[in-house]
Amino acid sequence: MKNISKEQKRNSENKDKSAKSKTKAEAVKKNSETEKAGPISGRKYPVWFYFVPVLIPVVFFILLEGGLRLFHYGRDIETFIKISADYPDMLFMNPQIPFRYFSNIKTAPSVIPDGFKEVKNDSTFRVFVLGESSTAGWPFAPNASFSRHLKRKLTLLYPKNNIEIINLGITAVNTYTMRDLMPDVLKQKPDLIIFYNGHNEYYGALGAGSSESIGKSRFLINLMLRLQRFKTFELVKNVIRYFAGIFHGSSGNAADDSNETLMSKMVGESLIAYNSETYLSGLKQFEDNMRDMLDMAKKAGVPVILGTLASNLKDQFPFISVNEPGLERADKVYKEARESFAKGDYKKARELFIKAKELDALRFRAPEEINNIVRKLSREYGCPVAPVEEDFEAASPEGITGNNLMVDHLHPNLKGYQLMGESYYKTMKEYSLLPKGSQAISEKTADSTLRVNFPFTRLDSTVSDIRLRILLGSYPFVPKGSPNHLLENLKFNDFVDTLAGLIIDRKTYWEPAHIKAAEYFLRKKQFGAFKKEMNAVIEERPFNETAYGYTAEMLIKANLFRDAIPYLKKLQALKPGAYSTKWLGLLALDGKNYKEALYYLESSLQYAQNDPQVWYNLAGVYFNLKNNSKAIEALKRCLAISPGYNAARVFYAQLMAATRQKK
């Protein structure tokens, strides 16, 4: 062992170095693999650790959404809101709602302020009406809409019920809007839902041919509408719009409104040929969205009434005729229809008028297939259809609807809207969908009362006339870029006409304009015209007690006491107070209805005990009811408040003298 050669020793050392080198290389390789595997390789972490990367963005967006809502960012997005402290228990459609559906305009269409009780009671009969501009009653004030006609009639027939008919009609929308509103409508526990819609499926907001369209995927459009309810989504939209505006050289806000009508803005340059892809897409869009809504209503157990659509066939020339392979031109077919009508061949004329409408490439009037879909859905879902189209035809010469019931291509005139209301009323009656209970008066009496008390004034008529001039003097009724000669020839002849112009120019609102008109007629002592203006205001704002009180007060000052009674009673029912009870008691006393007078005058004391006139008239009631002791006490209270009340002093002296004589 001691004699090992140097060479053997060197070999042994080399082997040791080689082994150490190999061990070191393996260690480096192992460390390298460990680093590649990551720091958690081989270690077990709690389950929550893996969810943290997912939760961080979720928590961020929740906090962002909460913060945006806390600081009231953007527009109010609720469908139904409280609009005033004057109506603490009432809900109204949010005036901001149209901005969900219109992104490229500064001024969105208005909504109808039909309020309803936040908490529905047992006596309430609640109906929601969904639709487009025809449902809203365009070009007239909401008082002329078919829903208001229906409400007035049901209120007369069922006075013990609280009739609520809430019109959700909005100009230039379609079934996308209605489908979006439907869940919120059902939350309000309606007794019935009424539809009159289908004309706007192509050019209404988000429609198949609309300038507001974001594509043809129904899923994506409806998803986008649901996301609209989130403030975060609104923030993202506004940021995108802002930067888009920078790149396009604008502020990113919606373009200023011009003299162009909303109707022409929505259509853009979109022409839709008969049976084209877009044409068929609009039909599918209508049917699928309607199915969704009918499914929702069926699940909630809420009955639905659909309606067939009417339009101007005889007197509306096709807007745009196109040359399409295998199809005739719309203008040519329309001329043939006019010729057949002139010859007395009304059956052929009707067929040709319908064909001309179908071939019109500017699809403002719903194709016949929309009504076919309505009838098909009625059969499938078992819901009734109001025969609006059929009733219009029955009321038209030779069964062809024209200017006799229409003001333009599809909006009814005043008579037409009342006819629509009757179509839905008859359908409600036929299918036992009217309010519960017996009718207080006959339908004939109700109809007569409605005709006499129609809440529509010359101011309303003038406003409607100007709206029509704006529409009919603009594209597509005249070539693009043409001056509006209908407006050029417009003349304002008096104060009422001037008020109408201010409403159109948005320099005043509908309600204050009517009150100014009422004051104008009051100064001229035209009390009938004064009442008509105030009746229109009251019909439009039935929850505003100020209008009832003002009307009654002005009539009382004019010594028109009997005329004041209906307004006082409505004020008393809406908001009982010292004023209404006092005057109802006084007028009942004047009419020798002493028990009623006693009720109102004693009620008045609950609100105010320092009115000497109340005590004086109460003394008169007690006297006529043979209760002189109470009469004397009432007179004492009267004179304590107003010692100089001469009539009370004389009355008191007479009663005291009569009392002494009896003793």
DSSP labels, 171-186? TT--HHHHHHHHHHHH
CA-to-CA distance for 375 and 380, rounded, in angstroms? Answer: 9
pLDDT the model gives residue 252: 46
Stretch among 163-177, 241-255, 290-304, 411-425 having the lowest mean pLDDT = 241-255
Give DSSP secondary structure letters for 239-286.
Answer: HHHHHHHHHTTS-SSPBPP-SS-HHHHHHTT----TT-HHHHHHHHHH
Contacts of 639 (CB under 8 A, 6+ apart): 612, 645, 648, 649, 652
pLDDT in tens, 564-602: 999 999 999 999 999 999 999 999 999 999 999 999 999
pLDDT the model gives residue 3: 46
Residue 305 bridge partners (DSSP): 194
Scanning 78-123, the segments in alpha helix (DSSP H) are: none
Of the chain, the percentage scoring pLDDT greater than 90 comes to: 73
Residue 165 bridge partners (DSSP): 127
Query: What CATH superfamily classification does 80-320+360-452 receive?
Result: SGNH hydrolase (3.40.50.1110)
Residues in the chain: 663
pLDDT the model gives residue 434: 98
Side-chain-facing half-sphere of 110: CA atoms under 13 Å: 14
Residue 69 has pLDDT above 80, yes or no: no
Residue 159 has pLDDT above 60, yes or no: yes
Stretch among 48-57, 181-190, 411-420 having the lowest mean pLDDT = 48-57
Mean pLDDT estimate for the chain: 90
pLDDT in tens, 554-571: 999 999 999 999 999 999
Question: Tokens for 266?
Answer: 């929505």
pLDDT the model gives residue 85: 86
Give DSSP secondary structure letters for 346-392.
Answer: HHHHHHHHHHHHHH-SS--SPPHHHHHHHHHHHHHHT--EE-HHHHH
pLDDT the model gives residue 259: 45
Residue, of 195 and 87, whose pLDDT is higher: 195
Side-chain-facing half-sphere of 111: CA atoms under 13 Å: 22
> SS3 for 624?
helix
Residue 236 has pLDDT above 90, yes or no: no
Strands (E), 23-65: none
End-to-end CA distance of the chain: 162
170: left (phi over 0), alpha (psi -120 to 50) or beta: beta
pLDDT the model gives residue 22: 53
249 confidence band (pLDDT: 50, 70, 90)? low
Assign 3-state DSSP to the chain and report helix, strand, coil percentages, each to 5: 55, 5, 35
pLDDT the model gives residue 36: 47
CA-to-CA distance for 552 and 492, rounded, in angstroms? Answer: 31
CA-to-CA distance for 536 and 542, rounded, in angstroms? Answer: 10
Give the position of tokens 């104060």. 495
Q: Is the bond preceding 612 in cis, omega lying within 30 degrees of 0?
A: no
Mean of pLDDT values over 306-327: 97
Give DSSP secondary structure letters for 459-470.
Answer: HHHHHHHHHHHH
The kind and range of the H/E element at 166 are: strand 162-167
Report which of 402, 340, 342 is spatially closest to residue 332, judged by C-alpha positions. 340
Where in the chain are the domains? 1-44, 46-74, 80-320+360-452
496 confidence band (pLDDT: 50, 70, 90)? very high
Mean of pLDDT values over 456-467: 98
pLDDT the model gives residue 373: 99
Residue 178 near residue 290, CB atoms below 8 Å: no
Q: What are phi and psi of 103, to 5 degrees?
A: -115, -15
Mean of pLDDT values over 299-328: 97
Report which of 265, 273, 275 is spatially closest to residue 213, judged by C-alpha positions. 265
Question: Tokens for 206?
Answer: 């988000």
Mean of pLDDT values over 157-171: 97
Mean of pLDDT values over 365-373: 98
CA-to-CA distance for 5 and 535, rounded, in angstroms? Answer: 131
Please report, to the nearest 10 degrees, the dihedral formed by the alpha carbons of residues 524, 467, 331, 395 taken in order: -50
Of the chain, the percentage scoring pLDDT greater than 70 comes to: 89
How far is CA 239 from each of CA 217, 235, 243, 245, 451, rounded to the nearest angstrom?
A: 24, 6, 6, 10, 53
Residue 419 near residue 392, CB atoms below 8 Å: yes
Q: What are phi and psi of 138, to 5 degrees?
A: -60, 140
21 confidence band (pLDDT: 50, 70, 90)? low
54 confidence band (pLDDT: 50, 70, 90)? confident
Residue 269 has pLDDT above 90, yes or no: no
Give the position of tokens 């304009």. 513
Question: Tokens for 76?
Answer: 């109010």
Question: In this structure, which amino acid lies at residue 350?
Answer: R
pLDDT the model gives residue 154: 99
Q: By CB neighbour count within 10 A (0-12 exposed, 13-18 middle, 19+ buried), where does 346 fall?
A: middle
Residue 155 has pLDDT above 50, yes or no: yes
